[in-house]
Amino acid sequence: MPVSDQETVALGRCPRYHPQEVRFGLQQILEPFGGIDALIRPGQKVLLKPNLLSAASPAEAVTTHPLILRVMTELIHERGGKVFIGDSPGNDSQEKAHHICGIQEVIEQTGAEALDFSNTIHKQVQGYREWNIPLAADLDQVDMVINMAKLKTHSLTGLTAAVKNIYGCVPGKNKVRFHFEYPLPGDFSRLLLDVYYAVKPAFSIIDAVIAMEGTGPRRGNPRRVGLLMASPNALALDNVAANVVGFRSDQVTTLAAAGELNLPGSVFSAISVRGVKLEKCRLTDFDKGPVSNGRLSRLIALLPFARIRNLFAGRRPYPRVNKDLCSGCGVCYETCPAQVIDFTGSIPDIDLDGCIRCYCCQEFCARGAIELNNTKRFFLL
């Protein structure tokens, strides 16, 4: 789909997670698109798809804050819509994630219903290739999807926001399988775009009140950004979000892949920003994480995206185990797509020769014991 009309992204101030401020912030970012009345019709079944990466408390900034979900649910109910909440957590059970992330409380307070993303349907898509994408069967129960993302750094894609959040619509172990089948960032990002277009969320919102910087998406540091962001086009939304926290589009692999394909929202100059002025939102000291900082980042900026894939293959960081932090829980062993982690002892041992550097081990380690090192055997290349 080629770039055509200008895309619109709305930015709204929300300095803290307080019910009145969240409600005002959501209304502010909905207003350029006609407000909640233009988005929702009475009687519509609406899925709110949050980021529920793992069972983490809201204070850790790993998941979409439950207050954002609660207030959005209230707005939809006031319009006469029916709200469902669903996601496929990366490793933890949905029940555990709902309780620890605060989602169960939202469901009990608002009367929203939880959807179980364990069953699978296949949807044909013509994108990266013509193929059938496995998606949560419960998507067929709703009339529309509203994508409720969290702004975080990501060791594989640079940044995770609206487009990558839709990957949670792929059930269970299929996500792990795709990491193994598409280990390089460029190929994996094209897959993410295919999933996004297969789900086709009607609207996307990013919770950037408290974002995550550093070694995201699980063990980074919470960072106050004080913004809510929204757009019908998740690519345009991610493009603006990346600009706010100091990423170039070439540092976010989904945006780089979208630019190669000339998709709507991939060209920053073709995006209209409404609400808070962009120049008043930009952060100059946001920690973009180990992959987007330093020499590798500068090399990426100078090369066409097709050649970056080969560069990444040899230069991306390798995971290593910090024995002082490791508890021996085995999560890294269970989530490794390539099955190259040996757990015969008390501390996991990673076979770096077989490692595909998908960083699933780092992503799901709750203790931050998996670190990224820019060398294979911990010596400078």
User: Across-strand partners of 13?
Assistant: 227
| Residue 112 tokens, joined | 């929203």
Q: Identify the residue whose tokens are 């409404």.
A: 274
Q: Length of the chain, please?
A: 381
| DSSP symbols for 44-113 | -EEEEEE---SS--GGGTSS--HHHHHHHHHHHHHHT-EEEE----SSS-HHHHHHHHTHHHHHHHH--E
Q: Residue 287 has what pLDDT?
A: 96
Q: How many CB atoms lie within 10 A of CB 317?
A: 18
Q: Which of 165, 153, 133 is nearest to 235 (CA)?
A: 165
Tens of pLDDT, residues 227-270 = 999 999 999 999 999 999 999 998 999 999 999 999 999 999 99
Please give the CATH topology (third level) of the domain spanning 7-280.
Rossmann fold (3.40.50)
Tens of pLDDT, residues 34-44 = 999 999 999 99
Looking at the chain, the domain(s) classified CATH 3.40.50.11440 span: 7-280
Tens of pLDDT, residues 302-354 = 344 445 544 555 567 889 999 999 999 999 998 898 899 998 788 899 999 88
Find out if CATH 3.40.50.970 is the number for domain 317-381: no
The stretch 82-110 carries a mean pLDDT of 95
Q: Residue 373 has what pLDDT?
A: 76
Predicted confidence band at 288 (pLDDT cuts at 50, 70, 90)?
very high
Looking at the chain, the domain(s) classified CATH 3.30.70.20 span: 317-381
Q: Label residues 220-242 b or e (16+ Cβ within 10 Å = b).
A: beebebbbbbbbbbbbbbbbbbb
Predicted confidence band at 375 (pLDDT cuts at 50, 70, 90)?
low
- pTM of structure: 0.88
Q: Which of 195, 86, 94, 89 is nearest to 142 (CA)?
A: 86
R_g of the chain, CA atoms, integer Å: 20
For 316, residues 6+ apart whose C-beta sits below 8 A from its C-beta are 185, 291, 296, 357
Predicted confidence band at 299 (pLDDT cuts at 50, 70, 90)?
very low
Three-state DSSP state, 218: coil
For 324, residues 6+ apart whose C-beta sits below 8 A from its C-beta are none
Tens of pLDDT, residues 115-174 = 999 899 999 988 767 889 999 999 999 999 999 999 999 988 999 999 999 999 999 889
